[in-house]
Structure 1
């Protein structure tokens, strides 16, 4: 990029090959990229959403309709598009569900903003209106929400089932929902839920109905040596974060041995050190050992002779879960082992579960605050999707347990927000009113997409939904995609956490506002495969036509 200097000579301020896009062109280009991301996941929304097949460079295949997974796997380089991916990531981190809703809403907000800019409404005015609308929407959502008690298991299971609908888990949904609720309530502590304490262990097997909740921990590891007992009842468990091997010197050193007797003495001393550690463990009363570090074969053999079940190289996260489940304290020095540090489990057993594969089960713990969901499925692809569905279910149930508020699903909150935001817009003066109205219209993209993905007429469905919501006591009506008509979602038990909606609205609005405020894009790289001017023209054509499915902009990557 160059500016005219004194005497008409160009003054270069950016290195050669850099490109600059300014003003409306830059805004259109960014909006095009962001909307393309939304279009990429739009068809996955809802119970009848379609799946995407993602193939990575190594040939691994992922089949899913989880928005967060899709956007994580697809290679996206465009900076504006990455900002929309951040919306999905924030939604997944905060509540674990509603990622597709947040992304689709962000894309529609930007599409509506583009229309307003075509009408000469300044981006700053649109951004102000969007912020006002988002704040009002969160306030209105509080009036739509209904309270729920964590003791209402039936309702919690319905919430879990709603989160898993459309992810290939419907056939086993009732059973998996029960497992998810049991897992969350087991690790709940004083109204707070740390979902990291729900460990998911998966293995191909007879089918999803064989999945189970273990009131303890299942580890994908086995005994160190065969002479150890295969099962230990009334287990006294020691968790050790110390090496059971001879320590290597930290600096270069050498030991000169001049005779076989010296060698024998040296080895005997090493062996004595290791056996001293074995005696310390045995003296503590422990009959099960989980070691985070390595373990010498000699130590393992002697532990086996003493009837101690031992596993080495346990991950730090599993050690923490074992501590939460058994009540054991993680010991860092063998000399400091105390019987008070030991945990308890009714049974610790190495069990063959599929073919030649075995797991170690730590069960019958006293009030475990860490549990394991053991997921089974007929194929690895189905198993992975079941794991994602259970992840969503666990997260939404934990959010409801913490917040105690839910809203009807099926597009009901979006239609209600759309109608009430339009009423709110009429009370606002200035051009911000137009932005709030556009925000209100954008909310309808969720029920519209639900209808489209179910093969229903979106216009007819929106008209029916508006009619129900304009009537008295109609705020809970959403779209039943199976029957093709509005129903009371609250009465039908199709519900989701309030936080899913507030987070989706907030993050979508923030991303849209940030992208709208960008009026200058300076790229320091070389030219892309498609020139900047061509990309601008394509953005203008596609935005004018109201469609974004005709391809992604440069740097968007794509599905293989």
Structure 2
């Protein structure tokens, strides 16, 4: 081999960042992302307007929605988006909290890296601190799942999310819905359907003891309203089956053709007769219903709806007690479900079928109203978060105070714990404790208060009680348990867990290799992020 010949291991155009540069870039990406959602935290948080390539607008202060809608390219920033998504899936709320804690952990780690502390030591310290924080959370948790407490949890989750006027009525509807579908302390939030319609005020939102299907009856001759309805659910089509193989039939006599047509008609009539004989008065089909079948169903006085979503069929089965039938030959009266009322109503210009007054339904529907589609979409997100936190509270039976109280309590105890650790991990544990204080600090900043004064007051108040938090409306430090500002312990537990694990993972990266084909190909040269100006 000729001397001085360069050796190419990576393809041309590949960008690579090593060691301290890689860490600095990743930390910067995390800080920028956290800074973006930070202003949305708390009751006084501001909203973001996101406009996509097609010009569609989303106005929200829901952390995970903002991060999903943003076109993020930086790989380290994408890892923090995963933190928000996990938080959303696990609890439904606290997405902004999780991201800003992760961002602050990365920011504090930069100072430690500048002190020549190895990233692995910082990661170990963070892990120790996260485990200790979970223990502290257990100590300060309040065990209470009374209805009054659940309503407070729902109201706290919706504060500052465009639902201010109707917080209390909405919270009551949400608690009713969660308690209705709860089964042995387990809540399947999928069984609570949220149907959103604009054209009315938020206060007109209602809880339906049953399911709303966003469809209309298939034939004008069918009844539009039925009392004490017997419901049948079918997931096969009500039409003449096509042959499995291509078949050719030669007809020599026109009468044979007529016989064929009559035979098909008879098959359809038999299908409808089977439905009518079972005693059903309402039919929901997952597949299609033949025009002829529609005619016979209308003559039999049966209301029929076709092409109902599979998820709606499942909810109808849970609400009415019906069994989903695949073969009409097997249909019996025992397969039918019941509903006190099935009625077709026009809501905001669209016909919808309301299956109501079900006996002890295990699936319910929240009809959420708002004056415009953007407002109703944001209320829908707030209601979705509130359902998540109420469900988490019912399942775990534990809540913590809000207003930054648990973060201050954890920071205080963690600083004491740090004193008992020898070695450099002590500095990482202290940094973790300080990072948690970003939550009350941000709450104060977003409310236009002095964050330093608020932190000092909170620390002093925590010498007396671990429930002291920041009332952002008055600027005072008050007992959040007394104020009724509470959230599930799971929100904090999950936020700390996922934030610390994401920060640890990002810290351990010392080499970023971006192939020339990726959109993030020139990422390492520019510490900014897709869709955002670089931070100076």
TM-score, length-scaled by structure 1? 0.93
Is the 2:123–2:507 contact (alpha carbons within 8 Å) kept by the matching residues of 1?
yes
Instruction: Please give the per-residue CA displacement for 1:274-299, whole angstroms capped at 9, x wherever unaligned.
Output: 11101111111111111111110110
Q: Which residue of 1 aligns with 2:285?
A: 291
| CA deviation map 1:176-210 (0-9, x unaligned) | 00111010001011110000000011111221111
Aligned: 1:525 with 2:516? yes
Contact kept, 8 Å, 1:478 with 1:487, in 2: the verdict is yes
* d(CA) in 1 for partners of 2:367, 2:115: 56
Partner SS, residue 111 of structure 1? helix
Q: Deviations over 1:400-458 (max 9, x none)?
A: 00100000000000011111100000000100000000000001100010011111110
Q: How far apart are the structure 1 equivalents of 2:280 and 2:442?
A: 59
Shift of 1:106: 0.2
Does the CA-based 8 Å contact 2:514-2:521 persist in structure 1? no
Mapped pair 1:271 → 2:265: yes
Please report how far the alpha carbon of residue 270 of structure 1 lies from its aligned counterpart in structure 2 after TM superposition: 1.2
Instruction: Tell me the distance in 2 between the aligned counterparts of 1:106 and 1:245.
Output: 56
SS at match of 1:11: coil
- Write the distance in 1 (CA, Å) between the matches of 2:506 and 2:59: 31
How far did residue 357 of structure 1 move? Answer: 1.6
Is contact 1:530–1:554 with CA below 8 Å preserved after alignment? no
Q: CA deviation at 1:531?
A: 5.5
Extract unaligned runs of 5+ from structure 1. Answer: 540-552
| 2:370 paired residue number | 377
Distance in 2 (CA, whole Å) between partners of 1:107 and 1:466 is 22
CA distance in 2, matches of 1:15, 1:133: 42
Pairs within 5 Å for 1:207-286:
207-286=201-280
Of the three residues 127, 131, 137, the one matched with 2:127 is 131
Query: How far apart are the structure 1 equivalents of 2:403 and 2:471?
Result: 7
User: Which residue in the other structure is 2:156 paired with?
Assistant: 162
Question: What is the match of residue 347 of structure 2?
Answer: 353
**Number of aligned positions between the proteins:** 534
Q: Separation in 1 of the partners of 2:431 and 2:216? A: 59
Partner of 2:30: 34
**Pair 1:478-2:469 in alignment:** yes
Indicate the residue corresponding to 1:501 in structure 2.
492
Structure 1 pair 351/522, CA: closer, same or farther in 2 (3 Å)? same
Residue pairs, 1:65-214, within 5 angstroms:
65-149=61-145, 152-214=146-208
| Other-structure match for 1:425 | 418
CA distance in structure 2 between the aligned counterparts of 1:27 and 1:231, rounded to whole angstroms: 65
After TM superposition, give the deviation of residue 111 of structure 1 in Å: 0.4
In the alignment, is the contact (CA less than 8 A) between 2:73 and 2:520 conserved in 1?
no
**Residue equivalent to 1:543:** none
Do the aligned partners of residues 337 and 532 (structure 1) sit closer, same or farther apart at CA in structure 2, a change above 3 Å counting? closer
1:457 matches 2:442: no
CA distance change for structure 1 residues 176 and 529 in 2, over 3 Å: closer, same or farther? closer
* Aligned equivalents of 1:27, 1:295: Cα separation in 2: 61
- SS of the counterpart of 1:107? helix
Shift in alpha-carbon separation, 1:275–1:105, aligned structure 2, 3 A: same
- Check whether the contact 1:529–1:554 (CA below 8 A) recurs between aligned residues: no
TM-aligned CA deviation for residue 34 of structure 1: 1.4
CA shift for structure 1 position 534: 4.8
Number of the residue aligned with 2:389: 396
Computed over aligned residues only, the root mean square deviation of the Cα atoms, in angstroms, reads 1.6
CA contact (8 A) 1:321 1:370 kept: yes
- d(CA) in 1 for partners of 2:285, 2:518: 54
Does residue 412 of structure 1 match 2:385?
no
> Structure 1 residues 272, 327: CA separation in 2 closer, same or farther (over 3 Å shift)?
same
With over 3 angstroms needed to count, the CA separation of the structure-2 counterparts of 1:276 and 1:182, relative to structure 1, is same
Match of residue 9 from structure 1? 5
Kindly indicate whether residue 505 of structure 2 is the aligned counterpart of residue 514 of structure 1.
Answer: yes
Quote the Cα distance in structure 2 between the aligned partners of 1:188 and 1:529.
Answer: 45
Given that 1:351 and 1:358 are in contact with CA atoms closer than 8 Å, whether structure 2 keeps it comes out as yes
Offset at residue 555 of structure 1 (A): 3.5
Quote the offset at 1:557 in angstroms: 6.0
Shift of 1:39: 1.0
Aligned partners of 2:288 and 2:306 also within 8 Å:
yes
Distance 1:385 1:533, change over 3 A: closer
Deviation sequence 1:504-552 (CA, Å, 0-9, x none): 00000000000000000111125979966752xxx5xxxxxxxxxxxxx
Q: Distance in 2 between matches of 1:534 and 1:498?
A: 41
TM-score normalised over the length of structure 2: 0.97
**Distance in 1 (alpha carbons) for counterparts of 2:386 and 2:252:** 67
How far did 1:103 drift? 0.3
Query: 2:434 maps to what in 1?
Result: 441
Query: Which whole-Å CA distance do the structure 1 matches of 2:182 and 2:532 have between them?
Result: 41
What 5-or-longer segments of structure 2 have no aligned partner? none
SS of 1:141's equivalent? helix
Report the CA distance between 1:256 and its aligned residue: 3.8
Q: 1:125 to 1:335 in 2, by over 3 A?
A: same
1: CA distance, partners of 2:219 / 2:509: 62
Does the residue aligned with 2:7 lie in a helix, a strand or coil? strand
Equivalent residue of 2:200, what SS?
coil
